[in-house]
Amino acid sequence: MKRPKRCRFEPDELSELDAVVSELVRVRAQVNALQARETQLIHGAAQIAGAVESRGEASSRAAELPHREVAAEVGAALRISDRTAQRLMGESNTLIQKFPATFAAFAAGVITRTHANVVADAGAHLPDAAARAAYEATVLPVAERESASRIRSFARIVAERLHPRSFTERHESAAAGRCVRVVDLPDGMAELIATSPAVAAHGVLDRLNRMARSVRDSRARTGAAGEVGVDGCIDADSIDRRSLAELRTDVFMDLLLTGDPAAHAGPAGLAAITAHMQVTVPVLSLIGRNDAPASLVGAGPIDAGTARLLAGTSSGWDRILTHPVSGEVVSVDRYTPGKKLKRTLQARDQHCLFPGCRVAVARCDIDHTLDFALGGRTCEPNLAHLCKRHHTLKHESAWRVVQKPGGILEWTSLTGRVYPDVPTTAVTFKPDDDWVEWFATATAAATATATATATATATARC
């Protein structure tokens, strides 16, 4: 099919757009700085409340009252609720007192309020200043070049690595609080809430999504839009108009109430659908040398014991070789047969490689960076995952992209700005200290052996 002719920008339009974007960047930096100043002022108000509290009685009610009074004052002035004002006072205290480097980047206009909140939230459970400082030093350089949604999972993983108490120990304590509860809602509705380990929760959601899509797709294939009456017409009242969310909920309740999705099975074959999750496990954790947390892609860290169990019971799993210094994915192999190149790209990219995009690789195309028709090779350095939106942008617009070593896509906009997008794995697969130490020792030993061999060979030749 012939592609429609693309409308092109005139030089004066590009020049005007370039000026607009430049001004937007400048204004955004000013907005960030002003919001940081607002945070600083709210923190000042919180400090005044704290000073009044220190002079009062030691009861919880007396201690809380100055904060409520100040929050009411701030809320009235800003035309927000006093509860919102008190929440902002608490957030400003956390950000300024516990994450000074993050606040400094915020005040300089380098990161947004959303970035600052993500960094503070993910590192809030770190117990001491040294751990938080190391955490900020690792996360902030990534926050300065990535969207806030992209750094959330990475920040959580870094925080878990730096926590002095092992993730396994903390997970076991938290898992002891797993529960199921019901919260009644108006209009005859209720929320069924299950607090469980993340792997189980994401596995449940993935399986429900697959079942719901299977029902929807089966309905579309068979034309089961409604029941046919005796007159040969479709009964409008019987048409299934459920959304994907409604289908997911109905399948979920049917499973729990009957033990099988009987009301939805039919041609969809829902009972045969299993959950699929991608878990990345450091090799030292996999072999039991340490208990560094693994990563559930799209969610965050999980304990090493669960990761080892998943690896042991899985029908097949990928072994990812990463560079010990840069963290770049070098190769992927699999103990069971499969398409090695596709798995390598999935492990390296994890999502669409357009700046700020979080669409998972399962919903992306594998694109030849240099078109195959123009001589581009089907190999790792020329392939990357792009979602439909950004795949179209690459081929149908003035945006251009080249691939650098390590899977980095360097995008050039229609105004000539360059935006590099670094795969998540390059920053996530940062080696543990003991692995780096071992690698350095092994490299030095190998170099010494090679030198000794070369000397012996040279001596023999003489």
Position with higher pLDDT, 220 vs 106: 106
Spatial distance between the Cα atoms of 448 and 444, rounded to a whole number of angstroms:
6
Average pLDDT over residues 413-433: 75
- The pLDDT confidence band at residue 155, using thresholds 50, 70 and 90, is very high
Average pLDDT over residues 347-365: 88
pLDDT value for 157: 87
Q: Are residues 112 and 210 in the same domain?
A: no
pLDDT of 272 above 60:
no
- The pLDDT confidence band at residue 222, using thresholds 50, 70 and 90, is low
pLDDT value for 118: 95
Position with higher pLDDT, 187 vs 456: 187
Spatial distance between the Cα atoms of 114 and 111, rounded to a whole number of angstroms:
8
Distance in angstroms between the alpha carbons of the first and the last residue of the chain: 72
For residue 400, is it within any domain?
Answer: yes
* Residue among 424, 416, 385 nearest 399 (CA): 416
Spatial distance between the Cα atoms of 329 and 321, rounded to a whole number of angstroms:
6
Residues 6+ apart with CB under 8 A from 263: 250, 254
Average pLDDT over residues 364-381: 83
- Mean pLDDT highest for which of 16-30, 248-262, 274-288, 363-377? 16-30
pLDDT of 396 above 70:
yes
Average pLDDT over residues 331-352: 72
pLDDT of 129 above 80:
yes
Q: Are residues 146 and 37 in the same domain?
A: yes
Pairing of strands 279-280, 189-195: unpaired
Residues 6+ apart with CB under 8 A from 91: 39, 117, 120
Mean pLDDT for the chain overall? 80
Scanning 55-128, the segments in alpha helix (DSSP H) are 60-78, 82-93, 100-107, 113-123
For residue 184, is it within any domain?
Answer: no
Minimum mean pLDDT range among 52-61, 107-116, 131-140, 229-238: 229-238
Gyration radius from the chain CA atoms: 28
Of all residues in the chain, the percent with pLDDT exceeding 70 is 74
What pLDDT, in 10s, does the model give residues 32-84?
A: 999 999 999 999 999 999 998 888 676 666 678 889 899 999 999 999 998 99
For residue 438, is it within any domain?
Answer: no
Q: Are residues 198 and 157 in the same domain?
A: no
CB distance 367 to 384 below 8 Å: yes
For residue 309, is it within any domain?
Answer: no
Q: Which helix (H) or strand (E) holds 41?
A: helix 11-54
pLDDT of 414 above 90:
no
Q: What is the dihedral of CA 17, 23, 25, 27, to 10 degrees?
A: -140
Q: Are residues 158 and 197 in the same domain?
A: no
| Sign of the torsion formed by the C-alpha atoms of 30, 35, 37 and 38 | positive
Q: Are residues 206 and 159 in the same domain?
A: no
Position with higher pLDDT, 435 vs 421: 421
pLDDT value for 223: 57
What pLDDT, in 10s, does the model give residues 320-337?
A: 666 666 667 766 654 443
pLDDT of 128 above 60:
yes
Q: Domain boundary residue among 163, 180, 212?
A: 163
pLDDT value for 309: 75
pLDDT of 14 above 80:
yes
CB distance 428 to 301 below 8 Å: no
Average pLDDT over residues 189-205: 87
Q: Are residues 16 and 157 in the same domain?
A: yes
pLDDT of 435 above 80:
no
For residue 382, is it within any domain?
Answer: yes
Q: Are residues 35 and 141 in the same domain?
A: yes
For residue 26, is it within any domain?
Answer: yes
pLDDT value for 452: 41
pLDDT of 25 above 60:
yes
pLDDT value for 449: 44
pLDDT value for 55: 82
Q: Are residues 29 and 157 in the same domain?
A: yes
Q: Are residues 151 and 210 in the same domain?
A: no
Residue whose structure tokens are 């904060």: 67
For residue 196, is it within any domain?
Answer: yes
Greatest CA separation for the chain: 104
Position with higher pLDDT, 311 vs 148: 148
Position with higher pLDDT, 436 vs 315: 315
pLDDT value for 313: 66
Spatial distance between the Cα atoms of 11 and 131, rounded to a whole number of angstroms:
51
For residue 181, is it within any domain?
Answer: no
Q: Are residues 327 and 217 in the same domain?
A: no
Minimum mean pLDDT range among 70-74, 97-101, 264-268, 312-316: 264-268
pLDDT value for 335: 40
Q: Are residues 368 and 330 in the same domain?
A: yes
pLDDT value for 260: 64
pLDDT value for 462: 30
pLDDT value for 136: 96
pLDDT of 361 above 50:
yes
**What's the total number of domains in the chain?**
3
pLDDT value for 337: 38
* Residue among 377, 25, 94 nearest 33 (CA): 25
Domain hosting residue 110, numbered range = 11-163
Q: Are residues 151 and 266 in the same domain?
A: no
pLDDT of 247 above 80:
yes
pLDDT value for 104: 95
